């Protein structure tokens, strides 16, 4: 069993590490000694991973899922063949813009706390993940937002990478799908001026393993044109947005051939990306809960969290808000899909998803705790 590591930085005393309860799933074990690179022939790999009927079916399922995450295979809201299907979905997940007044009313008298995904929410989805830049206009919008209420970016990226894009010291950052949490820089946010800065890293023991798997994945996928392996510190991403669809099944086999040797890591899939994460009981929902607790809202009835995101990993946060019965989740998507979010927003054309938060969200006056419609401000 491995304990959570909560590191609290105090201005006077420095950094103190506090041990907390275990976050490993019941079936998970302490990370084994990092194994060396395992050489396996393609013939043997196919025999082990592809020839069995169950495994072949699993691989086909992965490829189908990869296709489903590709915009070229998706139906946009405007092109759905069934208008009834669209209307039914929008009744369950109406536009957050259309329901703006309802959100104002529900949040009246409460402290709004904002949680924002990065890719596909603050920045457009782009072919090269290293070029998913936030615009200057969006940066100004988020900066104004953070002046009104606590604002966090919750992302699968490592904190250093997303901070290099956003460059705002007044925000809370939860990188690596919430496994690396850092509070605002002292003096930049009025919401932490009386609180110690918080650094939370529940998967610290996995760092050597993550680095080892990263090296193996880079080596294994270098023969697949367009594949890109990203080290997000406590998790890994294998991007296949620029990979020829004919190579997807081969790439899936390569990724699985590495990850299968690490039983304490789990493999999942997002929007044209494979995600490799430690198998611990931690996700974006847990990160949201931890941040609310850090802000003093653990058992408060006067808090109104709003989480905006577009990917599968954001569903854990949407589900948590449902269970708490507080605030709302807002899904950014141009097509109907199963979600725990209460409201929806469409992706703008040309993957410029960031524009949706510039149009008609709200500005909250910090003294009256009231929202006013204001151009270029998000709720």
Spacing of C-alpha 8 from chain mean position = 24
**pLDDT tens-digit readout, 119-146:** 988 888 888 999 999 888 788 888 888 8
In a domain, 51, yes or no: no
Lowest mean pLDDT among 161-175, 187-201, 232-246, 270-284: 187-201
Q: Are residues 194 and 287 in the same domain?
A: yes
Instruction: Tell me which of 216, 245, 276 is where a domain ends.
Output: 276
Q: Is 165 helix (H, G, I), strand (E, B) or coil?
A: helix
At 28, is the pLDDT very low, low, confident or very high (cuts 50, 70, 90)? Answer: very low
Lowest mean pLDDT among 36-45, 139-148, 268-277: 36-45
Mean pLDDT within 39-54: 42
Whole-number pLDDT of residue 120: 84
Rg (CA), the chain: 21
Choose between 41 and 171: higher pLDDT: 171
How far is Cα 85 from Cα 87, in angstroms, rounded to an integer?
A: 6
In a domain, 246, yes or no: yes
Backbone angles phi, psi at 159, to 5 degrees: -60, -45
Q: Are residues 225 and 328 in the same domain?
A: no
Whole-number pLDDT of residue 145: 81
Instruction: Tell me which of 276, 291, 306 is where a domain ends.
Output: 276
Domain that holds residue 121: 107-200+281-372
Q: Are residues 288 and 156 in the same domain?
A: yes
Choose between 147 and 75: higher pLDDT: 147
Helices 315-324/284-294 angle, 10° precision: 50
Whole-number pLDDT of residue 86: 78
Q: Are residues 151 and 233 in the same domain?
A: no
Element (H, E) at 278: strand 273-278
Whole-number pLDDT of residue 6: 45
Which residue bears the tokens 């006067």?
302
Whole-number pLDDT of residue 209: 98
Q: Are residues 151 and 183 in the same domain?
A: yes
Q: Is 301 helix (H, G, I), strand (E, B) or coil?
A: coil
Instruction: Tell me which of 245, 276, 307 is where a domain ends.
Output: 276
In a domain, 234, yes or no: yes
CATH of the domain at 218: 3.30.70.1020
Residue 366 scores a pLDDT above 50: no
Q: Is 26 helix (H, G, I), strand (E, B) or coil?
A: coil
In a domain, 124, yes or no: yes
Whole-number pLDDT of residue 177: 94
Choose between 203 and 4: higher pLDDT: 203
Residue 207 scores a pLDDT above 50: yes
Q: Are residues 113 and 135 in the same domain?
A: yes
182-186, 193-197, 312-316: which is most confident = 312-316
Contact by Cβ (8 Å): 30, 1: yes
How far is Cα 206 from Cα 30, in angstroms, rounded to an integer?
A: 9
Mean of the per-residue pLDDT values for the chain? 76
Residue 85 scores a pLDDT above 50: yes
Choose between 326 and 358: higher pLDDT: 326
Mean pLDDT within 200-214: 96
DSSP 47-112: HHHTSSHHHHHHHHHHHHHHHHTSGGGPPPGGG-S-HHHHHHHHHHS-BTTTTHHHHHHHHTTSEE
Mean pLDDT within 24-34: 40
Residue 13 scores a pLDDT above 90: no
Q: Are residues 209 and 270 in the same domain?
A: yes
Q: What is the pTM of this model?
A: 0.75
Contact by Cβ (8 Å): 250, 231: no
Q: Are residues 121 and 255 in the same domain?
A: no
Q: What is the dihedral of CA 318, 322, 326, 331, to 10 degrees?
A: 30
Distances (CA, A) of 242 to 70, 126, 129, 220, 227: 11, 10, 11, 17, 7
Whole-number pLDDT of residue 224: 97
In a domain, 86, yes or no: no
Residue 33 scores a pLDDT above 80: no
CA atoms within 13 Å, Cβ hemisphere of 139: 12
Whole-number pLDDT of residue 72: 42
Q: Are residues 321 and 173 in the same domain?
A: yes
In a domain, 67, yes or no: no
Residue 199 scores a pLDDT above 60: yes
Q: Are residues 125 and 163 in the same domain?
A: yes
End-to-end CA separation in angstroms for the chain: 40
Residues 6+ positions from 120 with CB-CB distance below 8 Å: 271, 309, 310, 311, 332, 347, 353
Q: Give the chain's domain count.
A: 2
CATH of the domain at 193: 3.40.50.1000
Residue 106 scores a pLDDT above 80: yes
Residue 312 scores a pLDDT above 80: yes
In a domain, 1, yes or no: no
In a domain, 129, yes or no: yes
CA quadruple 14, 17, 18, 21: dihedral sign: positive
Neighbours of 201 (CB within 10 A): 21
Mean pLDDT within 189-205: 78
Residue 360 scores a pLDDT above 50: no
Cβ contacts of 48-55, under 8 Å, gap ≥ 24? 49/253, 49/256, 49/257, 49/260, 50/253
Mean pLDDT within 64-81: 51
Q: Are residues 176 and 115 in the same domain?
A: yes
**pLDDT tens-digit readout, 146-189:** 888 899 999 999 999 999 999 999 999 999 999 999 999 877 77
Q: Are residues 362 and 287 in the same domain?
A: yes
How far is Cα 57 from Cα 109, in angstroms, rounded to an integer?
A: 52
């Amino acid at each position: 069993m491995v304990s959570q590591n909560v590191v609290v930085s105090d201005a006077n005393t420095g950094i103190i590490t506090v041990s907390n309860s275990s976050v490993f799933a019941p079936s998970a074990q302490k990370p084994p000694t990092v194994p060396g690179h395992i050489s396996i022939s393609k013939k043997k790999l196919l025999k082990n991973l592809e020839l069995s009927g169950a495994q072949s079916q699993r691989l086909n399922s992965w490829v189908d899922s990869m296709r489903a995450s590709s915009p070229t295979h998706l139906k946009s809201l405007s092109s759905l063949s069934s208008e009834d299907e669209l209307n039914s979905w929008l009744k369950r997940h109406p536009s957050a813009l259309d329901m703006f007044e309802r959100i104002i009313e529900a949040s009246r008298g409460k402290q709004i706390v904002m949680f924002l995904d990065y890719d596909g929410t603050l920045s457009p989805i782009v072919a090269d993940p290293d070029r998913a830049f936030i615009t200057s206009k969006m940066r100004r919008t988020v900066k104004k937002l953070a002046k009104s209420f606590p604002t966090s970016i919750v992302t699968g990226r490592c904190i250093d990478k997303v901070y290099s894009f956003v460059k705002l010291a007044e925000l809370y950052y939860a990188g690596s799908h919430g496994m690396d949490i850092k509070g605002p820089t002292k003096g930049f946010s009025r919401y932490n001026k009386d609180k110690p800065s918080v650094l939370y890293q529940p998967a610290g023991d996995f760092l050597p393993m993550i680095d080892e798997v990263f090296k193996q994945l880079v080596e294994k996928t270098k023969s697949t044109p367009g594949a890109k392996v990203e080290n997000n510190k406590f998790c890994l991403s294998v991007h296949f947005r620029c990979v020829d669809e004919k190579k997807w099944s081969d790439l899936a086999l390569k990724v699985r051939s590495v990850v299968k040797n690490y039983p304490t890591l789990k493999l999942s899939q997002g929007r044209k990306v494979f995600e490799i994460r430690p198998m611990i009981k931690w996700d974006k929902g847990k990160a949201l809960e931890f941040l609310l607790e850090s802000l003093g809202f653990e058992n408060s009835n006067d808090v109104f969290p709003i989480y905006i995101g577009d990917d599968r990993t954001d569903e854990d946060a949407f589900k948590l808000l449902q269970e708490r019965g507080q605030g709302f989740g807002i899904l950014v998507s141009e097509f109907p899909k199963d979600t725990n979010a209460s409201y929806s927003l469409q992706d703008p054309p040309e993957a410029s998803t960031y524009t949706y938060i510039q149009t008609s969200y709200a500005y909250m006056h910090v003294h009256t705790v009231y929202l006013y419609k204001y151009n270029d401000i998000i709720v």
